[in-house]
Amino acid sequence: MRRGGDPKIGPHEMPFHLNSAMVVEDDESLREMVTFMLYRMNFRYVIPAENGEVAWSHLKRFRVDLILSDWNMEPTNGLELLQRIHDHPVISCPRFILMSANISEDYWRKALEAGATDFLTKPFSWPQLQEIVNLAFSDPPRARTNVVPFPVRARYSNG
């Protein structure tokens, strides 16, 4: 949705200049907060979606540079949405960040193996969101390593 504008903006009106994002989150207050934060980071368009099915319907019409998606949602969760995007011949998103309160190594590994750009643990702060989004745009798309990030490796390596 364009800031203060019409939510029915066609793809031709959304220039591909690292300025469009989608927030897929079933918690309305968190979805609104992340949307606000992305606008503060100078994203020109942010499309909110309350679950993976709504996100999928938007992705059929809109092209986005970044998706921030909750993992645990019904009827389609964030990992299923990511896999659906990867399997589709036309729909794509160069940067996909999965969010979850679950910090298990298995979650990190599944997210990265599925092609997520990164993984954001909830709850998170404004600086953490800024850092992970900046990293997503500084790296070539899908060039992240499949190695579990250091804080999780350290947490689980000692038992």
**C-alpha torsion angle, residues 77, 83, 86, 87 (rounded to 10):** -120
Residue at 126 is within a domain = yes
Largest Cα span, the chain:
52
Structural domains in the chain (count): 1
Q: For the domain that residue 126 is a member of, what is the CATH number?
A: 3.40.50.2300
Nearest to 25 by CA among 2, 46, 3: 46
Name the token pair of 12: 């031709």
Residue at 115 is within a domain = yes
d(CA 24, CA 60): 15
10-residue averages of pLDDT along the chain (159 residues): 41 51 96 94 93 94 92 92 86 85 82 87 90 80 42 38
Report pTM: 0.76
pLDDT digits 0-9 by tens, 45-85: 999 999 999 999 999 988 899 999 999 999 999 999 999 99
